[in-house]
Amino acid sequence: MIPRYALPEMSAVFSDTARFGRWLEIELLATDAHVALGLVPAADAAQCRDRAPVIDDAFVQAVLDREAVTDHDVAAFVDVVQAAIGSPAGSWIHYGLTSSDVVDTAWCAMLRDACDLLIDSATALLEVVKLLAITHRDTVMIGRTHGVHAEPTTFGMKVALWALQIDRDRERLRAARSAVAVCKLSGAVGTYSNVDPSVEAFVGNKLGLTPVPATQVIARDRHAEFLWACAAVGATMEMIAVELRHLQRTEVREVQEGFKVGQKGSSAMPHKRNPISAETISGLSRVLRGNLQAGMQDVALWHERDISHSSVERIVLPDSALLAHYVLNRMRKLLLGLQVFPQRMVANLEASLGLVFSQPVLLALVQSGLSRDDAYRIVQDNAMRAWDQGIAFRELLELDSRVAIDAAVLDAAFDVHRSLRHVDRVFEALDRLV
């Protein structure tokens, strides 16, 4: 992932030094486990840990240099580690293991830690969204369907529904964490032919990972589930971003992204304040969905393993974690600085000349004894005239002899508070979020 969209705490999870550090710890723990089985002398295992190399940039470069010879990254890693430890103790490194035992277990540890960061970021965003929803619980605005005025809602209700979806994303991340927090150290095709199952159990316990049956590799539906959770986060962030982009259009201007001192919206037009955060989030969500597609294709491998998944995962697993983390935090920053314009919301609602109350008028006419179709045609006729002639909808209804309902009934039909009297139901659901 390019640094522009990578936050340091998530980048640290997938750095080369962190990855090799996990590989080394797995190798050392496996050596310790073999001591308990009587296969490795305790003194040699102690020497392996005492003389283990420091995993720094120099070590990473040494592995890369060795890989230029071996054309195999794990074999190169083992060679460099064994050389640092020295003989005879170093010879026990990688005893009974295959590359996937180390690589897959390390991947799962990294993805588990990535999930923890994603869950924390989703929780932090959720708190901001909940506060925004509560603040604007009664901020009346027009609800739109197909981009056209429909009926009144509140900005707080809109935002509360975002919060409920973010909470579902958080649950998906927790499920993904459970799916990937596993390990395997069961040898070349998963049969434990050259490594005792107790080694796997020991290493898994030390790393906080659950041993699972596997072929030579851990089943990739687990990784696909992680990518799905990241893509779902992206989809939710895009849903919010698209809404905010529409609400920031000049013709609407009900909200506006924050604009810091010294910021420029356009290199050519000084008046511009563009929805750049929302647009960036929309764009990155597309990458997350694309990564999911690649991850799904990694599930079907040949027989007990091939490496067609390996090159894909080196890109899509860290990139999806980084992007999902980035868009969660970018959205949080966007919403913390969001400007909301309640007066503009009311003005936009009123711009449709009262037509947003067409349904309660329709229902009032039905209650007065008209058939639904007759009532619908009366309301529709007057609605079209309101649009065409620029006359208030209620005024036209009062002049229509077919509308045989009194003023009090019309008052109730045109009462915005009647339309919003059950908004509390959404906020009751919001209050239940932990």
**Single-letter amino acid code for the residue at 313:** E
How far is residue 394's CA from residue 411's CA, in Å, rounded to a whole number? 10
The Cα 131–Cα 332 span in angstroms is 12
Phi-psi category of 17—alpha, beta or left, where left has phi over 0 and alpha has psi -120 to 50?
alpha
Q: Which listed residue (11, 121, 223, 266) is catalytic?
A: 266
Q: What backbone phi and psi angles, to 5 degrees, belong to 183?
A: -150, 165
| Separation between Cα atoms, residue 332 and residue 290, nearest integer Å | 24
Residue 428's contacts (CB-CB under 8 Å, 6 or more residues apart) are none
- From 87, 146, 401, 422, active-site residue: 146
- Backbone φ, ψ for residue 54 (5° rounding): -75, 130
Give per-residue burial for 232-266: e unless 16+ CB within 10 Å, then b: bbbebbbbbbbbbbbbbeeebebbbbeeeeeeeee
CB 39 within 8 A of CB 95: yes
Helix/strand/coil for 256: strand
Residue 422 is a catalytic residue:
no
- DSSP H helices in 55-152: 57-70, 73-85, 99-135
Please report where in the chains the tokens 């910021």 appear, as a residue. 263
| SS3 of the chain: helix, strand, coil, percent, to 5 | 65, 5, 30
Rg (CA), the chain: 30
Question: Can you name the residues that pair with 211 across neighbouring β-strands?
Answer: 183
Can you say whether the dihedral through the CA atoms of 167, 173, 177, 178 is positive or negative?
Answer: positive
- 340: DSSP letter: E
Asked whether the beta carbons of 218 and 212 are under 8 A apart, the reply is yes
Residues acting as catalytic residues:
146, 266
